[in-house]
Amino acid sequence: MMELGKRESIHQFLAEKAELINQMIPQFLPSDNVPPILKEAMEYSLLAGGKRIRPILTMITYEAFGKNSNEILPIAINLELLHTYSLIHDDLPAMDNDDYRRGKLTNHKVYGEALAILAGDALLTHAFGNMAKYLRKFNHLSPDIRLQMIEEFAQYAGASGMVGGQVLDTLGEQGKSTFQDLIYVHTHKTGDLLVFSIRLGALLAEANDTQIEKLTQFGQKIGLAFQIQDDILDVIGDSEKLGKRVGSDQNNKKITYPYFKGIDESKEEVIKLVKEAKQMIQDIGIKTKHLYQIADFMVFRDK
């Protein structure tokens, strides 16, 4: 784990990145001909806070190649639009039926289920429109690479990625689902968008094939570790810190890593995965400091 001084340093670094994103993100929402109540519902969840881990991962990966991440901010921000859509839908009564997210009432509790669904739909659609719009300006990259980014965005977020993971999570039930089902859920529901965040930064930085492959493996391991830690926090976390109720997984009889392996083994697996993740990228010709730090921050967090 990180020493105290290093932990404070990465907290400050990430807070500065998140603040930059928070300042910029309203500019990337649609405004023309949008019903005011829809725009309000979209902004309610999008501007509710959060760590902005996904766009920050893209920015940090880009910076690992010696680049200035401010130039890709309009592209990276779309990961937060898509992530927010997934949270709105995940909280719905038909899914996790949660009342609070980031310490605030969930979208459907404020605006009703129908508008919450539509706000999520709008954020999802606009994320792809924005991605295409701003990638068009990156004309130093080949058209094929720019199209690959949009294709991967759909792949990692869609039926074989985040949505597929959400489906098995919805169907998962203690006593019926297997440990392999759980790994599929964690790999795809949460992990895939984290992996794409890293791949996006690498592709924008014109990384070579080896660098992209190693960074992908890094992302897969920290993505799984991140979700195992989330499972752990649902058992032993602090509701006030987390901004949502703890114990909801157990109450809903959902499968989790601690359900299958127990708390101690779950904690050991998190440590093992982070160590392996760092080894993946230690000798590929990039600056690893902030990638290592964000890995520690993501998986050894208490909220």
Looking at residue 176, its pLDDT comes to 82
**How far is residue 148's CA from residue 127's CA, in Å, rounded to a whole number?**
16
Looking at residue 262, its pLDDT comes to 93
Q: Which two tokens stand for residue 200?
A: 């996006």
Q: Which two tokens stand for residue 145?
A: 């690479």
Q: How far is CA 231 from CA 20, 40, 248, 254, in A?
A: 29, 32, 10, 10
Backbone angles phi, psi at 295, to 5 degrees: -60, -50
Give 91 or 170, the one with higher predicted confidence.
91
Backbone angles phi, psi at 105, to 5 degrees: -55, 140
Region 70-94: mean pLDDT is 96
Domain map (residue ranges) of the chain? 4-299
Give 122 or 31, the one with higher predicted confidence.
122
Judge whether residue 175 has pLDDT over 90: no
Cβ pair 215, 61 in contact under 8 A:
yes
Axis-axis angle for helices 289-299, 257-280 (nearest 10): 170
Q: How far is CA 232 from CA 236, 262, 266, 295, in A?
A: 6, 9, 7, 17
**How far is residue 109's CA from residue 123's CA, in Å, rounded to a whole number?**
18
Judge whether residue 126 has pLDDT over 70: yes
Q: Would you give the distance in Å from CA 25 to the centre of its chain?
A: 16
Cβ pair 90, 142 in contact under 8 A:
no
**How far is residue 129's CA from residue 150's CA, in Å, rounded to a whole number?**
10
**Which residue reads 């924005």 in tokens?**
130
Residue 288's contacts (CB-CB under 8 Å, 6 or more residues apart) are 64, 278, 281, 282
**Least confident segment among 61-70, 72-81, 113-122, 226-235:** 226-235
Q: Which two tokens stand for residue 95?
A: 């899914």
Task: Note the pLDDT tens digit of each residue in 249-283.
Answer: 555 667 899 999 999 999 999 999 999 999 999 99
**Which residue reads 């080896």 in tokens?**
210
Task: Note the pLDDT tens digit of each residue in 233-249.
Answer: 988 855 444 444 555 65
Domain spanning 4-299: CATH superfamily:
Farnesyl Diphosphate Synthase (1.10.600.10)
